[in-house]
């Protein structure tokens, strides 16, 4: 297992920039995401649909190094029993479940309501395009437009993907928040284009300022309160997660736990991907199925080979879990 020497924890003010050594250049993102998802408890026995979607997307990125929208949407729907098979999604959010139902009825119409669902969905893009910040944002927004029409929801995804990308190179503390803002703010026009509620983006610059002050908060609730306290606002929630992930600790699981307390599996998974991208492949304090599978997916997304034929089919893996057969990757 790769271990990352960690800098001391941030101060309450979070004013000092902190750095940690690069560990795997992002290969621990999906393992961390599954850990944060499991901590959130959307599915009582482990990770949920939040991580299942990211896994499907990571497979396509490993094989082709880009996303084909139609193939991606079909692969995501396949886990819902696209051709009459048994659905294998677990613990879906209400917004994702509604999208799946609309898609099954013949119209995969993007969700109108604000949602944080797009944040953990785009984490593989942050790793795949980590060396190109502008592309990370554009790819995240393009992917999430298939699921969300709300501008704040699209912005939350861009924040999450950018944070994962920066974490691949060990960014942390206020430097991480600053780096994400430098990637996302220039793209606000593109994010707002055709989106509902675009006026929410007018305050994103000041929101990033509050996120800097939230780095080093004592817990998830304090971080969210510093952001404004509105857990229905995807931007506030994404930046709460960013502030939690930015805090370097000798116990990397703590930000995941705090994120899960205030945002369940969706925020827990998002923060898990950010922290996992920074600390690399490592054991987490709680048990969940398929950990070695997630580690291998992360390795291949970072270093190749660009091949998935020797990996298990995602539907088959999830079917084994939901059907009660022997869980895990063997």
Domain presence at residue 36: yes
In a domain, 13, yes or no: no
pLDDT in tens, 247-276: 998 999 999 999 999 999 999 999 999 999
Residue 18 within a domain: no
**DSSP string covering 86-115:** PP---S--HHHHHHHHHHHTT--PPB-S--
Name the nearest CA neighbour of 96 among 74, 72, 121. Answer: 121
pLDDT in tens, 113-124: 999 999 999 999
Q: Higher-confidence residue: 323 or 130?
A: 130
Say what the pLDDT of residue 22 is. Answer: 74
DSSP state of 42: S
- Is the predicted pLDDT of residue 14 greater than 60, yes or no? no
Alpha carbon distances (Å) from 129 to 42, 169, 185, 308: 29, 12, 18, 19
Whole-model pTM: value is 0.91
CA 176, distance to chain mean position in Å, is 16
Average pLDDT value for residue range 274-295: 97
Closest CA to 256 of 18, 11, 14, 51: 51
Q: For residue 158, is it within any domain?
A: yes
pLDDT band at 83 (very low <50, low <70, confident <90, very high): confident
Report the distance separating Cα 36 and Cα 62, nearest Å: 22
| Contact assessment for residue 301 and residue 127, using Cβ atoms and an 8 Å cutoff | yes
With beta carbons less than 8 A apart as the criterion, state whether 202 and 55 touch: no
Q: What is the pLDDT, as a whole number, of residue 20?
A: 54
How many domains does one find in the chain?
1
Q: Are 260 and 237 in contact (CB under 8 A)?
A: no
Q: Is the pLDDT of residue 127 over 60?
A: yes
Cα–chain center distance at 39: 14
**Within a domain: 330:** no
Q: Which SS3 state, helix, strand or coil, does residue 19 take?
A: strand
Mean pLDDT of 82-91: 91
The CATH code of the domain that includes 70 is 1.10.4080.10
How far is residue 262's CA from residue 218's CA, in Å, rounded to a whole number?
A: 13
134-152 pLDDT tens trace: 999 999 999 999 999 999 9
| Distance, CA of 207 to CA of 191 (rounded, Å) | 16
CB 144 within 8 A of CB 121: yes
The pLDDT mean for the chain works out to 92
Confidence of residue 82 (pLDDT cuts 50, 70, 90): confident
Place of tokens 């785009």: 122
Assess if residue 281 is contained within a domain.
Answer: yes
Residue-number span of the structural domain to which 256 is assigned: 24-322
Question: What pLDDT, on the 0 to 100 scale, is given for residue 249?
Answer: 87
Residue 267, in any domain of the structure = yes
- Give the 3-state secondary structure of residue 32: helix
Question: Across residues 58-75, what is the average pLDDT?
Answer: 96
pLDDT single digits (tens) 199-240 = 999 999 999 999 999 999 999 999 999 999 999 999 999 999
Neighbouring CB atoms inside 10 A of 320's CB total 19
Asked, for residue 311, whether it belongs to a domain, the answer is yes
Of 123, 145, 144, the closest CA to residue 277 belongs to 123
């Amino acid at each position: 297992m790769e271990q990352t020497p960690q800098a001391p924890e941030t101060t309450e003010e979070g004013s000092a920039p902190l750095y940690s050594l690069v560990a795997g250049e992002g290969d621990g993102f999906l393992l961390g995401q599954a850990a944060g998802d499991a901590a959130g408890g959307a599915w009582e026995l482990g990770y949920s649909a939040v991580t299942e979607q990211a896994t499907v997307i990571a497979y396509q990125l490993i094989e082709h190094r880009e996303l084909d929208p139609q193939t991606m949407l079909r692969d995501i729907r396949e886990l819902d029993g696209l051709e009459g098979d048994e659905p294998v999604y677990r613990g879906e959010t209400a917004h994702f479940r509604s999208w799946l139902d609309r898609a099954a009825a013949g119209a995969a119409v993007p969700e109108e309501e604000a949602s944080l669902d797009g944040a953990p969905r785009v984490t593989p893009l942050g790793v795949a395009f980590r060396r190109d910040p502008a592309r990370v944002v554009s790819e995240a927004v393009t992917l999430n437009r298939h699921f969300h029409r709300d501008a704040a929801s699209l912005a939350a995804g861009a924040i999450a993907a950018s944070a994962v990308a920066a974490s691949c190179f060990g960014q942390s503390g206020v430097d991480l928040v600053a780096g994400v803002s430098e990637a996302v703010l220039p793209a606000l026009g593109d994010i707002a284009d055709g989106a509902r509620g675009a006026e929410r983006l007018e305050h994103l610059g000041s929101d990033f300022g509050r996120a800097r002050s939230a780095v080093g908060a004592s817990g998830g609730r304090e971080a969210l309160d510093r952001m404004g306290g509105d857990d229905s606002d995807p931007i506030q929630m994404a930046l709460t997660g960013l502030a939690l992930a930015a805090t370097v600790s000798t116990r990397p699981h703590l930000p995941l736990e705090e994120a899960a307390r205030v945002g369940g599996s969706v925020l827990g998974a998002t923060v898990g991907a950010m922290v996992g991208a920074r600390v690399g492949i490592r054991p987490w304090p709680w048990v969940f199925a398929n950990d070695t599978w997630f580690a291998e997916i992360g390795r291949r997304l970072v270093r190749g080979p660009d091949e998935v034929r020797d990996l298990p089919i995602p539907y088959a893996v999830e079917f084994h879990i939901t059907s009660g057969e022997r869980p895990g990757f063997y």
